[in-house]
Amino acid sequence: MPRETATRQPRSGAAWRALAIDTCFARCAVALAERRETIDIVASDTQAMTRGHAALLTPMIEMALRRCAWRAADLDLVAVTIGPGSFTGVRIGVAMARGLAMALRVPVAGVATTDALFLGAAAADRADTGGALVVAIESGRGDYFMAVAGGSPFAGTAQTLAARLTDRRAILIGDGARRLAGALEALGVRAEIGASSPSIDPAVVAAHALEAGVESWAGRGPPRPLYLRGADVTLADGARTTADLES
């Protein structure tokens, strides 16, 4: 990661402008937002992909800036999803956000993917007080990255979640919702799939970052990738193991 430098002061009397980046899953997404009396999303783009995030991310940012007639120097904040998610995707997004922020001398807002999905949850899912709202993200290893509303993210199986629900009905959102719902029902746990989108909306991330205020992020320091476990590693002899990660 690049060395951090002191951030510049937000422009006095001007609108705050933010770029949001999400590369944690099988997609590459960016959004631009501006805060005056209200927060307006001025550009948003998402491309589905399983690899190649690093090659596509910079052109997507440049295109979004051109559509708004903004320069990179007009940004006051960069927001990025920090995981849990794909090891490579998380690293790409966080590295890009921190590199841009260092060059522009602006703060970086790090947002967990589970928090981003909660923020974008449908009103009907948030209003259902009879159940526990749960984010379920496919981990690629047969289990899930999960979080129960109000709690921290964790990795685990349907059994892991069932132990945390304490007989509450689960309202599942995220790309793992459908599979996890079936696994929970097989355990006798009440579960249903929520109405929310299974994907992160970068516009939601941008709006959340601006709502908190540029100054609030400046005091938090640069975000680090959020890993819930180590990365899969293939050794020279073909054996596979798990490597511990340091942010």
CATH number, domain of 84, equals 3.30.420.40
The residue among 178, 193, 208 that closes a domain is 193
Res 6: pLDDT: 52
Res 247: pLDDT: 42
Give the CB-side neighbour count of residue 80, counting CA atoms within 13 A. 28
Domain carrying residue 93: 16-113+200-243
211, part of any domain: yes
The predicted-structure confidence for 64-97, as pLDDT tens digits, reads as follows: 999 999 999 999 999 999 999 999 999 999 999 9
Residue 107 sits in the same domain as residue 186 = no
Cα separation, 165 vs 246, whole angstroms: 31
Residue 189 sits in the same domain as residue 209 = no
Q: Which residues have C-beta within 8 Å of that of residue 131, sequence separation ≥ 6? A: 168, 169, 170, 171, 190, 192
27, part of any domain: yes
- Which range (1-5, 25-29, 107-111, 172-176) has the least confidence? 1-5
Residue 44 sits in the same domain as residue 144 = no
Q: Strand, helix or coil at 203?
A: helix
Q: Are 105 and 9 in contact (CB under 8 A)?
A: no
Res 211: pLDDT: 96
Residue 92 sits in the same domain as residue 135 = no
Cα separation, 199 vs 16, whole angstroms: 26
The residue among 175, 193, 211 that closes a domain is 193
Residue 99 sits in the same domain as residue 133 = no
Residue 48 sits in the same domain as residue 109 = yes
Query: What average pLDDT does the chain have?
Result: 90
Residue 204 sits in the same domain as residue 92 = yes
Residue 21 sits in the same domain as residue 109 = yes
Number of domains in the chain: 2
Q: Shortest CA distance to 214 belongs to which of 2, 5, 7, 16?
A: 16
5, part of any domain: no
The predicted-structure confidence for 137-152, as pLDDT tens digits, reads as follows: 999 999 999 999 999 9
143, part of any domain: yes
Residue 166 sits in the same domain as residue 84 = no
7, part of any domain: no
225, part of any domain: yes
- 156 by Cβ neighbours in 10 Å (0-12 / 13-18 / 19+) ranks as middle
Res 27: pLDDT: 96
Rounded to whole angstroms, what are the CA distances from 223 to 113, 186, 205, 239?
Answer: 13, 39, 14, 33
Cα separation, 154 vs 28, whole angstroms: 23
Residue 187 sits in the same domain as residue 220 = no
85, part of any domain: yes
Residue 222 sits in the same domain as residue 102 = yes
3, part of any domain: no
